[in-house]
């Protein structure tokens, strides 16, 4: 997979922030040709961005060059929902269908789907 880095990452004041050879060092993830990761950014299909979480908080930021759209989600929760295996804690009354994931990832996926450019769900742990 190859992708263009969002303008804010690739330029600064009309000068290159990162040289092309460094931008081209973004590597595909072994065994997953549809994804890539590098410089803190991952590519999933046509979306470029990153997810993150700390106890009690999850976040995502993804950019789609074809849409020139950015989706940012910040959630004050790190509790997974969905069809999670028993070893992953979930809220007692949370939904039990769909992919097992944390809130920010699920919301980002729903927004990407609404934009007509879905992000595939993560594999179930």
1: closest CA among 59, 45, 63, 40? 45
pLDDT reported for residue 27 = 57
Does residue 99 lie within any of the structural domains? Answer: yes
The range of the structural domain enclosing residue 103 comes to 7-114
Taking only the tens place, the pLDDT of each residue in 30-67 is 676 666 555 667 778 888 888 888 889 999 998 888 88
Mean pLDDT of the chain: 75
Q: Is the per-residue pLDDT at 82 higher than 50?
A: yes
Does residue 121 lie within any of the structural domains? Answer: no
Does residue 2 lie within any of the structural domains? Answer: no
Number of domains in the chain: 1
- Judged on CB neighbours under 10 Å (0-12, 13-18, 19+), 48 is buried
Q: Strand, helix or coil at 75?
A: strand
DSSP assignment string, 27-70:
EEETTEEEEEEETTEEEETTEEEEEEEETTEEEEEEEETTTTEE
Does residue 15 lie within any of the structural domains? Answer: yes
The pTM for the full model equals 0.64
Does residue 26 lie within any of the structural domains? Answer: yes
Does residue 54 lie within any of the structural domains? Answer: yes
Does residue 124 lie within any of the structural domains? Answer: no
Does residue 53 lie within any of the structural domains? Answer: yes
Q: Return the structure tokens found at 66.
A: 């074809």
pLDDT reported for residue 114 = 94
Tell me how crowded residue 4 is: count the other CB atoms within 10 A of its CB: 14
pLDDT reported for residue 11 = 45
């Amino acid at each position: 997979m190859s992708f263009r880095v969002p303008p804010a990452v690739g330029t600064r004041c009309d000068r290159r922030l990162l040289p092309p050879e460094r931008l081209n060092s973004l590597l595909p993830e072994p065994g997953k040709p549809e994804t890539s990761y590098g410089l803190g950014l991952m590519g999933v299909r046509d979306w470029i961005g990153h997810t993150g979480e700390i106890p009690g908080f999850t976040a995502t930021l993804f950019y789609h060059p074809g849409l020139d759209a950015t989706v940012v989600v910040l959630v004050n929760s790190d509790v997974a929902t969905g069809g999670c295996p028993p070893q992953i804690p979930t809220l007692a009354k949370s939904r039990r269908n769909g992919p097992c994931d944390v809130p920010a990832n699920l919301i980002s996926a729903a927004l990407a789907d609404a934009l007509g450019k879905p992000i595939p769900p993560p594999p179930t742990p």
